[in-house]
Structure 1
Amino acid sequence: MSAASGPVPEAPLPKRPYVIRDVTDPWAMRGLEGVQVDAWGYPDREVLPSSMFRISSVCGGVVLGAYAADAPEGGPQLPFGLAYGFPALVGGQLWHHSHLLAVHPDWRGSGLAVALKYAQRERVLAQGIQRMTWTFDPLIARNARLNLGKLGARAVSYHPDWYAMGDDPATAFPADRLMIEWDLSQPRAAHPPPAPDGEVVLAAVPEGEEPDAPRLNLNDPQVLAEVPRKAELMNEALRLGWRLALREVLGEYMGRGYVVTDVAADGERVYYVLTRDPQTA
């Protein structure tokens, strides 16, 4: 190999027609491991192995893969999307917990994530289950938009340090999560982000990127908490500042009965819409 040669960068995946299939073959399930690496850059120890997909598929779980519709017959079928979940007891009732939704970065914004969730919904309803839960990182605004604005679900609780994403809790970046509930029997139609409406309880400092001091003592029916549009592009210190600010604000208000019902937008600024549950007022 000459000094000038090296790995050839992969071309972006074309947005070809795709199909979503139930994955039941154990060999095909190995391809779902690679989707997780492509989507999140997971190290091997964080990847959910094909053995878990296999046992779940015969114990009531849903394992879905997205594949190119025009892939040649007989060749390897490499997935670029994944949805996976399993039955779970929530408050003494049978729900479905969706553990993974992964899409290759070149397919983000294509509508594939929504299609995977609705395919999962179809399978779960066929099992007689009408509610689904999952978690997502409240710092990732695009996922908030998918869950709240496109699927019409709602976030009902805040969970600090949901996962241990490192060996040392003193140095690992905190893996906080919002818990989503989705009523499968009455899905809300997708809608554009509304304009912000309500008192702002968290926002960036004027002319800056870091979060300002939270306002924790409001009791308005609806309040707004800003989230960075692209926190994943910030340096770690700035992301940590937003993580802790959102933990304080969302933890406080959701602990008092507010739920996150939508994502509002004003130009480049994005806000969680927290609505007080009348039953807890």
Structure 2
Amino acid sequence: MKITIRKLTSIEDMHLVLQLENIVWMESTPIHQTFTAAKNGGILVGAFTTNEDESEGKLVGFCYGFAGFKEGQAYLCSHMMGIHPDYRSSGIGRRLKEEQRQIAKDIGYDLIIWTFDPLESRNSYLNTSKLFGISDTYIVNCYGEMNDGLNNGLPTDRLQIEWWIRSERVEEQWRPSLSFENPFSVSLSSKGNPMLMGSKDELPFGNSGIEVPIPTDFQNIKKSEPELAYEWRMKIREIYQAIFTEGYTLTGVRKADGPVQFAQFIPRKLIPLKRIERGANQ
């Protein structure tokens, strides 16, 4: 399967985004909004299949961001990414983000931000271990009550990712060399879902990093045991907030076979976020 990634700029492109949004989210952003953003510092990129004659096929993924500004810092707010259900788990999300990053650098951005659910381990892994973003901002019930298939029934807690696209962390794909301590254990419910054992009081702040288990498949927990999903939400909220208060930052996810993955945190002061200046030909 050949996928082509390109910038989306035309009204026709915006119509394609709207159609895909309705498939992925069952709702859509008005075309006048996406089109205006694209003309004023925003960035939309799309993933297209390729026909047998090498012509562009259908839109199967998109990433939409608009210009933001806060406390003297201009940035790109990457508001939404959607992949057609038939094309997920094929690396399209990472390719969209990398294209977004390159266009953002060309425009002059240093920073891209977006939010994601801290209990979605696949997103955590992509955003930190693959794209080298970081997060130390926990937003409680960010979007209020949402009735779509992914968020129904739970507070919409989110982490805010900072993607410093010109930093050593991103440009050189810097990873911490610390050892990590995990003070938590995991047991299984009667339905085979993971249950987190322990509390924030057991967090080992010191010279090492910290690992926290998060579900491998949070969506399955939401469907099969809603009460357990809510318990995960409340426990992770409390633990992450305590970690961030101590100056630690999420920098990666250690993948593992089994019902949980492991979110990894280190002190923010150790992360190289200074802008790397490149020559004109680099």
- Normalised TM-score (structure 2): 0.81
Partner of 1:43: 26
Superposed, 1:152-167 pairs within 5 Å as 152-166=132-146
Structure 1 spans left out of the alignment, 5+ residues: 1-15
1:206 Cα deviation after fit: 6.5
Distance 1:255 1:239, change over 3 A: same
Distance 1:152 1:88, change over 3 A: same
Task: Please state whether the residue corresponding to 2:154 is helix, strand or coil.
Answer: coil
Superposed, 1:118-129 pairs within 5 Å as 118-129=98-109
Distance 1:206 1:63, change over 3 A: closer
Cα distance in 1 between the residues matched to 2:247 and 2:48: 41
Task: Please state whether the residue corresponding to 1:148 is helix, strand or coil.
Answer: helix
Partner of 1:227: 214
1:205 aligns with 2:190: no
RMSD: 2.8
1:250 aligns with 2:240: yes
1:275 aligns with 2:256: no
Superposed, 1:61-140 pairs within 5 Å as 61-70=42-51, 78-140=58-120
Cα distance in 2 between the residues matched to 1:56 and 1:72: 33
Partner of 1:262: 252
1:17 aligns with 2:31: no
Distance 1:256 1:30, change over 3 A: same
Distance 1:43 1:105, change over 3 A: closer
Cα distance in 1 between the residues matched to 2:214 and 2:64: 27
Deviations 1:93-121 (A, max 9, x none): 11111111211222222221111111101
Distance 1:48 1:204, change over 3 A: farther
Partner of 2:16: 31
Structure 2 spans left out of the alignment, 5+ residues: 271-282
Counterpart of 1:224, as a letter, is E
Counterpart of 2:91, as a letter, is G
Distance 1:262 1:73, change over 3 A: closer
Aligned length: 255
Deviations 1:239-278 (A, max 9, x none): 1111111101001111221100110134323111011234
CA contact (8 A) 1:30 1:49 kept: no
Distance 1:190 1:140, change over 3 A: farther
Deviations 1:161-209 (A, max 9, x none): 1112348xxx941001111111211425679x99x94222444237762
- Normalised TM-score (structure 1): 0.81
What percentage of aligned pairs have identical amino acids? 24
